[in-house]
Amino acid sequence: SRKISFVGTAQYVSPDLLQNRVDTRASDLWALGCIIYQMISGLPPFRAPTEFLTFQKILKMEYEFPEGFPADAKDLVEKLLVLDHTKRLGSDDTGDTYESIRKHPFFEGIDWENIWEQTPPKISPYLPGGSFEEEYTVPDHLEPGLG
């Protein structure tokens, strides 16, 4: 008998992969929604103490947005984290350019034609209730290592 094992990040697994064991381009769109959510909030949308419980949350769509989550990002994530894989934003796009995703307001201002020549913007994490400086710098007296 053949054993089936899981390889990957449990929090990013699409419901279609969990239910049908089929990995499609639409599964990648689901993962994109999870990654965008995590990049902004600092945590994955579906999280639980075990992989099994995480999978249950995915299948039941049990997640919520933290306070202050940007509206355009929320709209994009909601259009990617859709149980029916045929209804995810980008699932109907032909080719590999995902025009419907590129045109979403979340990506407004992105020059897709010249993206590889551009300097990436600074990343400022969303840290609710944090009292951190705008930009973190390492103090001069610190040295590398565990000492």
Confidence bin at 120 (pLDDT 50/70/90): confident
Total structural domains within the chain:
1
Q: Which domain holds residue 26?
A: 10-111
Q: How far apart are CA 104 and CA 111, in angstroms?
A: 13
Furthest-apart CA atoms within the chain: distance in Å: 60
Q: Is the pLDDT at 54 greater than 50, yes or no?
A: yes
Q: How far apart are CA 93 and CA 114, in angstroms?
A: 21
Inter-CA distances, 78 with 60, 71, 117, 122, Å: 14, 10, 30, 25
Q: For 93-115, how does the pLDDT look when each residue is reduced to its tens digit (9 = 90+)?
A: 998 899 999 999 999 999 999 99
Most confident of the ranges 115-119, 125-129, 138-142: 115-119
**Is position 129 within any domain?**
no
**Is position 124 within any domain?**
no
Query: CB–CB of 88/30 below 8 Å?
Result: yes
pTM of the predicted model, to two decimals? 0.77
**Is position 130 within any domain?**
no
* pLDDT at residue 136, as a whole number: 57
Inter-CA distances, 29 with 37, 65, 84, Å: 12, 18, 12
Q: For 13-46, how does the pLDDT look when each residue is reduced to its tens digit (9 = 90+)?
A: 999 888 887 778 899 999 999 999 999 998 999 9
**Is position 65 within any domain?**
yes
- The domain that holds 77 is classified in CATH as 1.10.510.10
Of 21 and 119, the one with more pLDDT: 119
Q: Is the pLDDT at 134 greater than 70, yes or no?
A: no
* pLDDT at residue 68, as a whole number: 92
Cβ neighbours of residue 100 closer than 8 Å, sequence gap 6 or more = 89, 90, 92, 93
Q: How far apart are CA 31 and CA 8, in angstroms?
A: 11
**Is position 42 within any domain?**
yes
Q: Is the pLDDT at 144 greater than 60, yes or no?
A: yes
**Is position 126 within any domain?**
no
